[in-house]
A = this chain, B = another copy of it.
Amino acid sequence: MTRSTVLHVLVFGALGGVLIAALKWLEYRWLVATHATELYAGAVAILFAAIGLVLGRKLTRPQIEIREIPVEVPIPMAAAAGFTRDEQRQAQLGLTAREIDMLEQMAAGLSNREIAARSFVSENTVKTHVSRIYEKLDARRRTQAVQRAREWRLIA
């Protein structure tokens, strides 16, 4: 194939393309001329359908879809792990800090001996404290004292 041959092919191709385009253009003109009303109606239809669509979206109230979204709610400290000693009542009952201390260890399930060891005092001392605690809490037993102390928010 020579260069001129290639050129010819390209020229004829281009001419063919132009010809087809021209024919299509004429056909289009004829279509527009003969079906003007239908085209007009079509255009109006499309336009108004679009307008209707937009209006339909914009002007109608948004549909409310009730959906429950789980939300993390911070649990109030006081209910979770927090504890506040009722110092009011503690003072009112005349419980000393040391006694509250003993009380906590009693509640932890420690024996007098164990408390004595941990507190670096004699077992007798612990017994004295414990006895006074009973008096103040009006308890007769260890478990009762612990229960009362809990109930009255003197210990956690």
Contacts and interface: CB of A to CB of B under 8 A. Distances in A.
A1 interface: no
A54 interface: yes
A117 interface: no
B49 A109 contact: no
- Of A48, A60, A69, chain B has the most CB atoms within 10 Å of the CB of A48
B143 A107 contact: yes
Q: Count copies of this chain in the complex.
A: 2
Interface string A33-51: 0000100110011111111
Given A48-B45, A56-B56, A109 B62 contact: no
Nearest to A71: B68
Interface residues of A, number: 46
A97 interface: no
A73 B68 CA distance: 12
Which of A49, A108, A145: most chain B Cβ within 10 A?
A49
Contacts of A45: 44-45, 47-48
A154 interface: no
Interface string A55-82: 1110010111101110101010001100
A122 interface: no
A53 interface: yes
8 contacts: A40-B41, A46-B48, A49-B51, A54-B56, A56-B56, A63-B63, A108-B147, A110-B143
The 9 closest A-B pairs by CB, nearest first: A52-B52, A56-B56, A109-B144, A49-B52, A52-B53, A53-B56, A48-B49, A109-B147, A62-B63
